[in-house]
Amino acid sequence: MKKVVGMGEIMIQMNPTEKGPMRYQHLFEQHVAGSEGNVIIQMQRLGIQTSFITAVGLDPFGEMIISTLKSEGVDTSFVKVDPKHPTGIYFVQRSYPIPGKTKVFYYRKNSAASFISEKDIDAKIFDDVDLFFLSGITPALSKRCRKAALKAIEICVKKKIKVVFDTNIRVNLLKTKNKAFEILKPFIESAEVLFTGVGDLTFLFGKNLRNSISELRKIAKNAELIIVKKGKEGSICFDVNSNTYIEYSSFPVEVEDELGAGDSFDGTFLSAMLRGYSFEKCLRYANASGAMAVSLKGDIEPLPTWKDLDLFLEVYEKSEEKLLR
């Protein structure tokens, strides 16, 4: 079994039962969510042995997060419980002011995860590990987190562990293009597998997608794969070694909550890749996973198993065949 380690902040998500403006919401569902954690849970559901590096507060929210990770089978040995700082939370506003789009209100300043430091990164964490996953959110949380993430990357390079990075830009954390380059550049340079999205590329390089990928390639000197998520328009995998692009269209579904789709995509693509699937098949499964993720509220609840993915694809392809007749 392949072994993967992830690192990042997991929070409590408060998701309203109804769509519309936050000021008129009265009932909320409580979910466990957080980008890197979503990816790791997705991989665990797809048969990958996973561990996660994070910190939570000594509070009921922290207890809920640890319990959820354990229930999914994720190794929580490297989850730190911080008695001085709280677990981060955030609130979701769905389908307002733009139908189908989700807005997020974060309350994560001085959260336990933002105090992760180099002291929390031990080389032993990475023994017998095949892959390390990190996103641009973690180094943007604080200088401490950035140094800790860089230490983790250094260990992985020494141990020849494949480094996977998703740019995953949060404008509320990085603010400007210049700051985003400053914070993310060393991680983009180190990544062997690099995930990004059209929004991130536009923020960094402008609206021309091909030019943006070309500019990204100049920075991503170590990348073997660059995967671009395009939402409703599908995804692209650029195989650097063969200098080829592989594109795969998306699966149209009714959107309930768009959060977590990119994380589900990442976790599924990586799990398929670790199984030795072709990149086209990796994209096919990843696009299906992303489509399934937006169909329900919550980030981890819709994350599929292989059986779920195969059933989704079977039903979708049968409906496609009927339309073509």
**pLDDT of res. 51:** 98
**pLDDT of res. 208:** 85
Task: From 86, 80, 160, select the one nearest 121 (Cα to Cα).
Answer: 80
- pLDDT band per the 50, 70, 90 thresholds, residue 320: low
Average pLDDT for 97-125: 95
**pLDDT of res. 318:** 78
Q: Counting Cβ atoms within 10 Å, is residue 36 exposed (0-12), middle (13-18) or buried (19+)?
A: buried
CA torsion sign, 113 to 114 to 118 to 119?
negative
CB 32 within 8 A of CB 160: no
- The strand ranges marked E within the chain are 3-7, 11-16, 28-33, 49-57, 79-82, 89-94, 102-107, 131-135, 162-166, 193-197, 225-229, 235-239, 244-248
How far apart are alpha carbons 146 and 241 in whole angstroms? 30
**pLDDT of res. 131:** 98
How far apart are alpha carbons 65 and 86 in whole angstroms? 12
**pLDDT of res. 1:** 78
Tell me if residue 263 is catalytic: yes
Task: From 131, 68, 170, select the one nearest 267 (Cα to Cα).
Answer: 131
pTM (two decimals): 0.95
Average pLDDT for 182-203: 96
**pLDDT of res. 307:** 98
At residue 147, φ and ψ (nearest 5 deg) are -65, -40
Name the average pLDDT for the chain.
94
DSSP class of 275: T
CB 289 within 8 A of CB 311: no
Beta bridge partners of 194: 165, 226
- pLDDT band per the 50, 70, 90 thresholds, residue 322: low
Residue 324 has pLDDT above 60, yes or no: no
**pLDDT of res. 325:** 47
Which domains does the chain show, CATH number per domain? 3-324 (3.40.1190.20)
Average pLDDT for 95-101: 90
Residue 274 has pLDDT above 90, yes or no: yes
Residue 35 has pLDDT above 80, yes or no: yes
Task: From 237, 227, 173, 225, select the one nearest 203 (Cα to Cα).
Answer: 173
Q: Are β-strands 235-239 and 225-229 bridged in parallel, bridged antiparallel, or unpaired? A: antiparallel
Q: Which of 263, 266, 299, 308 is catalytic?
A: 263
Look at 320 and 57; give whichever has higher pLDDT. 57
- pLDDT band per the 50, 70, 90 thresholds, residue 226: very high
- pLDDT band per the 50, 70, 90 thresholds, residue 321: low
- pLDDT band per the 50, 70, 90 thresholds, residue 206: confident
